[in-house]
Chain A
Amino acid sequence: MLRALKIGLVIERGNRKNLVALVAVIIIVFGFMFYIQAQALGNQIVEKKGDFYSAQATLSKFQVKDASETGDGSDLYKNLVKQKSKIALQIASLTMDKQSLYFETSLQLAELRKEAFELEGYENIAELLPSKLQNSMNYLYFKRMIDEEKDTQSNLFQYIPFLLFFFIHVGAGWYIFISFHTSSILLDDFEHTSIIQGFPVQFDHYILSKCIIAFLSIVTSILLIFICAIPLWVLNGLGNPLEPVGIYVGNATLISTIQYIAMSVGYMILISIFVMLLSIILNVLLKNMYLTLFVHFILFFLPMIFPSLISLIPYNPFNFMNFNDILRGVPVDLAKPVDISMNLGLIIICICIILMLFVIKTFFSTGKIKRA
């Protein structure tokens, strides 16, 4: 076993693909920094201005009426007018740099929106406003901020907030990255069968050593993300690791930033193992890197292109590969909502991994399927 590992390492050391993957990670991390800078992401004032015009656009569907408590406008209209004035207050408090007032106003806005969901005619104007789940997460977040009497806003260029932003947005990309990385996991050796056959190693040992090596390079990539962001720590400080983040696990809850990052890393490692095993099976069956990639992509993107598939087959493991969407509660906001959360996903992914290990162990190592 150790011998197989050693041989594998020797072969893998000369493989330029690992280097390319690591460089890709570095480029993506630094690219993200420039992206945040260029798009002015996290700039609250810009975002709130967008919200303001959304509110105005929504209001253009209503006749202007008396919006005071005793006025003759509809309840929804009154609610929307109040929302708009709250957003204006948000912008004002941000401009004046009064964070506590901003949190208070945002909480009131979330409350108003919560009421609005129950009002008549809401479905006609839902388009430009946040979904129910999104709103309740906002509500929890701002409530926590007020309860803890916070008066600072996190800056995306600090270490921990940046990592959080990165992991929230990179989730779907991770599957693609790993499928590129492992798409030819066995194929390079198929091309030089004589080398492999020269080493007296059992097939399952050989596969296992391959997996361990690939796994090592995946873990290195994840570590590299943390290392690449360190300049931000040096320049702008650590940031608040306990800042709450809203997620969906059966109901909307808050967890701390550091928990979210740890969870993401855990999911990413599990997903990597899943993808790796699937790549091995596809490699043996299809014997072509591009075909392997295509199958990966089709399986991955199908539930995204046709979200109704998620409602139809909620237990499809590929629903859970984009773990950020599940944590954000996207399936709950679908036209036909399904209540799936990442806890369920964890179980399903684990079952799939065990199944695939079983398949590899029983079918591929008996010699019925040749290596090349």
Chain B
Amino acid sequence: MWSYFKFEIKQFFTNKKNLAIYFLLAFATLFYAFKIAPTYNPIESVDYDEIEARYLTRQEFLDHMEGSDLNGVHPSVIYAIGIFKEINPIDKKRLDALDEGDLKQYADLTRDWYYFTNSFTYRNEAFFSYNSKYFIENNKYAEDDAFYAYLEQAVRYDAYSKADYELSLDIFEQRTALQTFERLSKGLLPIILIVCVLLLSIDIVKKDQRHPSILKGFPISDWKKLLVKMFVALLGSVALFAPLLIGFFIIGLQFGFGNFNLPSPMYAAQLDWHLEGQFEMMTLGTFIVQSLTLLFTWFIVIISVVLLCSILFRSEMVNFAVGLLLIFGENFYASRYVGYFWDVQNYPTSYIQVGQIISKRRNFYYMNNNLDFTLGLQLLFGLAGVVILLMIVIALNKRYKLMK
């Protein structure tokens, strides 16, 4: 058993295709760390000019209206005066806090600013609009995205204002290494990693056809061989994080590493209208642990599905097609708010966007309360269990031979 394991490990890590995958991933990581990460420019940034411009414009309006007779003016003017009188002192204090470099004070005020601005901007297009950068991509749902972002920022700044660690602008703009990982795992990173796992494990059974005579020297039953292969592929998948770590350190040295107590708000999915858009605090540590757990479960699912397909169909292309169907299956039904009508939470494929599941952004996207970390874990483990069981049953069948 041990010698077979060593043999498989050696084959796996000397396979040129696998080495190429590690290499390309390392290359992509370097590209990201050096080229893309520094140009990251969030919409919700700490922009002194923007705050000042808004403050001055509104203050001038208020000064102009000061003491004038409000009888007979348009009601929207009175509305504007009311709002600006509330929001302008906050903007003024934010500017002062930035001037003094008091980031804790800035965070405290910014939280209030986000809550208050959102309260009079959401569904109030006639008078106010969110940051216009949300609308640049011709996004139909820009208003909703901005709503989500504003409330999320409010919860983040709430946590910053109570922070017992050192604050910095890089932390506010989510540029530190851990926060970069957080942002990426809400985007493409999980899918890239899962596709890499698929490509790594795709020929793990098929390659044996090239050297049948060596393999007949190992007196192990077929199902044990398959489990060893599975374990080797899992080890190889974990090794995918090695190239990512290089990028992590490069970004960390540029912008700081961040820490695990940073906030990573979780959308509290509530379909009641008066509770809509609530966020709950979660620490970055919890987020990362849960994301990695779900991601690792996905690795197990993909590898076991590839193994089952390998022994059923014996073709790399079929493995590839089935794996891709599983990974991109969500795209066949994913669309905004569809979860309100369909039970998307019952399909394992709905959980592919790992970071968005943990932060429950996916619930907001689907408008569904039930997408959940534990449910996803149960579904995926269930799927993997069934697949592995099937695989072992087939391999135990006397008429089946792993190698022909």
Q: What is A's interface to B at a CB cutoff of 8 Å?
A: 46, 49-50, 53-54, 56-57, 60-65, 124, 127, 288, 290, 293-294, 297-298, 301, 304-306
Contact = CB atoms under 8 A, between A and B. Distances in A.
A290 B50 contact: no
A180 B53 CA distance: 53
Contacts of A64: 53, 57
A63 B57 contact: yes
B16 A60 contact: no
B120 interface: no
B30 A61 contact: no
Given A53-B133, A305-B34, A306-B34, A297 B27 contact: yes
B374 interface: no
Interface residues of B, number: 26
B139 to A, nearest CB: 10
B184 interface: no
B136 A53 contact: yes
A53 B132 contact: yes
Given A297-B27, A301-B31, A57 B133 contact: yes
Contacts of A60: 50, 53-54, 131-132
Interface of B: 16, 19-20, 23, 27, 30-31, 34-35, 41, 47, 49-50, 52-54, 56-57, 60, 131-133, 135-138
Contacts of A53: 132-133, 135-136
A306 to B, nearest CB: 7
24 contacts: A46-B138, A50-B136, A50-B137, A50-B138, A53-B132, A53-B133, A53-B135, A57-B136, A60-B50, A63-B52, A63-B56, A63-B57, A64-B57, A65-B57, A127-B41, A294-B23, A297-B27, A301-B27, A301-B31, A305-B30, A305-B34, A305-B35, A306-B34, A306-B35
Ranked nearest first, the 6 interchain pairs of A and B with the lowest CB-CB distance are A63-B56, A56-B132, A64-B57, A61-B49, A53-B135, A53-B136
A63 B60 contact: yes
B46 to A, nearest CB: 13
Contacts of A293: 20
Contacts of B27: 297-298, 301
A57 B132 contact: yes
A57 B41 contact: no
A331 B47 CA distance: 29
Given A57-B132, A64-B57, 20 more contacts: A49-B138, A50-B136, A50-B137, A50-B138, A53-B132, A53-B133, A57-B131, A60-B54, A61-B49, A61-B53, A62-B53, A63-B52, A63-B53, A63-B54, A63-B57, A63-B60, A124-B49, A127-B41, A298-B27, A305-B30
Give the interface centre of B47, B52, B53 by most chain A CB atoms within 10 Å: B53
Tell me the dominant secondary structure on chain A's binding face: helix
Contacts of A306: 34-35
Nearest to A125: B49
B30 to A, nearest CB: 7
Nearest to B52: A63
Given A60-B131, A301-B31, A305-B34, A54 B57 contact: no
A332 to B, nearest CB: 19
Contacts of A50: 136-138
B327 to A, nearest CB: 19
A78 B137 CA distance: 25
A199 B30 CA distance: 47
A304 B34 CA distance: 11
A63 to B, nearest CB: 4
B187 to A, nearest CB: 19
B130 to A, nearest CB: 11
Contacts of A65: 57
B391 to A, nearest CB: 31
Nearest to A127: B41
Nearest to A56: B132
Contacts of B49: 61, 124
A368 to B, nearest CB: 28
Nearest to A77: B53
B51 to A, nearest CB: 10
A65 B64 CA distance: 13
Contacts of B56: 63
A10 to B, nearest CB: 27
B20 A290 contact: yes
Contacts of B50: 60-61
A290 B31 contact: no
A306 B23 CA distance: 18
Contacts of A49: 138
A35 B41 CA distance: 26
Contacts of B57: 63-65
Nearest to A293: B20
A54 B136 contact: yes
Nearest to B16: A290
B67 to A, nearest CB: 21
Contacts of B131: 57, 60
Nearest to B132: A56
Nearest to B136: A53
B404 to A, nearest CB: 24
B35 to A, nearest CB: 5
A325 to B, nearest CB: 14
Nearest to A64: B57
A160 B192 CA distance: 36
A65 B57 CA distance: 8
A46 B132 CA distance: 15
B63 to A, nearest CB: 13
Contacts of B31: 301, 305
Nearest to A124: B49
A32 B252 CA distance: 38
Nearest to B137: A50
A242 B135 CA distance: 35
Nearest to A294: B23
A298 B35 CA distance: 15
A60 B131 CA distance: 8
Contacts of B133: 53, 57
A56 B49 CA distance: 14
Contacts of B35: 304-306
A293 B27 CA distance: 13
B233 to A, nearest CB: 20
Nearest to B34: A305
A50 B57 CA distance: 25
A297 B50 CA distance: 42
B135 A290 contact: no
B73 to A, nearest CB: 19
A272 B54 CA distance: 55
Contacts of B41: 127
A306 B31 CA distance: 9
Nearest to B20: A290
A368 B203 CA distance: 39
Nearest to B24: A297
Contacts of A301: 27, 31
Contacts of A61: 47, 49-50, 53
